Each structure stands twice: as structure tokens, then as C-alpha cells.
Amino acid sequence: MAMESSSSEMPMAMEASSEPSAAPSSEAPMAAAADNKLPASALTADVAIAAPGSTADGQGYVGVWAKDAAGCAQIGDAGATGFAVITGSTFRDGPAACYGNFGALADGKATLAMGCASGPATVNVALSADDTLQVDDGPALVRCKP
């Protein structure tokens, strides 16, 4: 009988030691970044409004955009840079938003005229693909997903 109990304990010990409990949690942030995923904690205020994008004709630029997938994962962090949050009436690429009544794209481009705390401003956006946006003459940004 002593042999039976030790042989039944051995597989349980092997099962417990063969489970990679830390691997899924350490790989999860990388997988989220690779999918251009926004952190759940960032889905508030203008980010929550912009993140789903817009199905309205000519409003394909509405969304949350970042320089790369890792940038999407940083949206909501105070030190985040290289991003744009665009709704139908707000544009933000830093801590403060500018406000306007933005029109539709024409040939994949639009000029967003807005009022900001520092005064009137315009931003030119160009949507080269559903998930690629250029703001002014900056680098192409990728769409971040909720």
C-alpha cells in the first residue's frame, strides 16, 4: 500500500511542477502590444469615445492612434508621446484637447480646424489605410484597438 500512495503522489507533484504559471501573465502584455491593444485603464473620457472609431461616411480618422503597438499600450500614461486621440469634435496629442466641428475626409485627407487653450489651430490628417493615419507631416500612426 505504501507504494500505491507514493506512486499516486508522484504524478501530482509532476503535474504541479510542469504547469507554467508565470508564462501566460508575462506574455500577456507583449500580446496586447502586438495587437495594438489599448489598456483597459485608458478607456475613459475621449479615449473611450474615440477607440471604437466611426462608421460615419468620411470619419475614418476618428480613433486612437499611436506611433506603434507599444505606444498603444502606453495610452493613458502621463508620459505617453507619439499619439493622437480624435473624436468627431476633439483632437488631443498631449494632456489637453482642442475642440472643433470636424468634417469628412476628401480623397483620404481632412483639415481639422479647432480652438485650443493656446488659440486657434489646424491639423491635417491623411488616412492612407483603415489602420494608418498621418498627422501633419509626422510619421504614420497605427490604430489602437479597445
What's the CA gap between 84 and 86, in Å, rounded? 6
Instruction: Say what the pTM is.
Output: 0.77
pLDDT at residue 33, as a whole number: 54
Rounded to an integer, the average pLDDT of 42-61 is: 95
Q: Give the angle 78-133-112 at the CA atoms, nearest 5°.
A: 80
Q: What is the pLDDT of residue 35?
A: 87
Q: What is the pLDDT of residues 83-139, one digit of tens each?
A: 999 999 999 999 999 999 999 999 999 999 999 999 999 999 999 988 999 999 999
Q: Is the pLDDT of residue 14 over 70?
A: no
Helix (H, G, I), strand (E, B) or coil at 46: helix
How distant, in Å, are the alpha carbons of 34, 52, 87, 117, 137 from that of 101?
Answer: 33, 19, 10, 16, 22
Write down the mean pLDDT value for the chain.
83
Tell which residue, 41, 81, 36, has the closest CA to residue 63. 36
